[in-house]
Amino acid sequence: KKLIIINGPNLNLLGKREPNIYGSLSFTEFLDTIKAKYPTAAIEHYQSNIEGELIDKIQEVGFSYDGIILNAAAYTHTSIGIGDAVKAIETPVVEVHISNTFGREEFRHQSFVSPNAKGIILGFGLQSYELAIQSFL
């Protein structure tokens, strides 16, 4: 299975950023463990802080990959463009969040990704990504 994790803004700071919410493990450390644990899955990772770059990547992989695991981070709550991209492609998208966004500020309760996601996994820390990967295997 060809899978890609697409991470949005500020997720490059995982491990350093608000560790009480997002944990103290960096994403590369986490990804190494996951890749070793699921050797049959070809798991790629892409991160950008730029909305248009995330849309470009969704379009690029969205007609050939088996699954997209998307944490659009803050753009989840603001980006109609990312929402439209998820709708436009053929590859199923599982929306992921590290934190339980429904237990946080009101502005995090809305998602432009959710209506067109295959499923949503949130609130399990970095394990949210692992559960999303399992859903594609």
| Binding annotation for substrate | 71, 77, 84, 98-99, 108
Q: Which 2-61 positions form the footprint of ligand DQA (CB under 6 A)?
A: 10
Q: Is residue 92 within 8 Å of residue 63, measured between CB atoms?
A: no
Q: Is residue 65 within 8 Å of residue 25, measured between CB atoms?
A: no
Query: 10 vs 135, which CB is nearer to ligand DQA?
Result: 10
Is-catalytic flag, 97? yes
* Binding residue for ligand DQA, selected from 25, 31, 74, 120, defined by CB under 6 A: 74
Cα separation values, 47 from 8, 102, 107, 135, Å: 6, 24, 23, 21
**114 binds ligand DQA, rule: CB under 6 A:** no
Catalytic residue among 46, 97, 109, 129: 97
* Binding residue for ligand DQA, selected from 101, 112, 132, 133, defined by CB under 6 A: 101
Q: Who's near 33: CB < 8 A, 6+ residues apart?
A: none
User: Catalytic amino acids?
Assistant: 22, 97
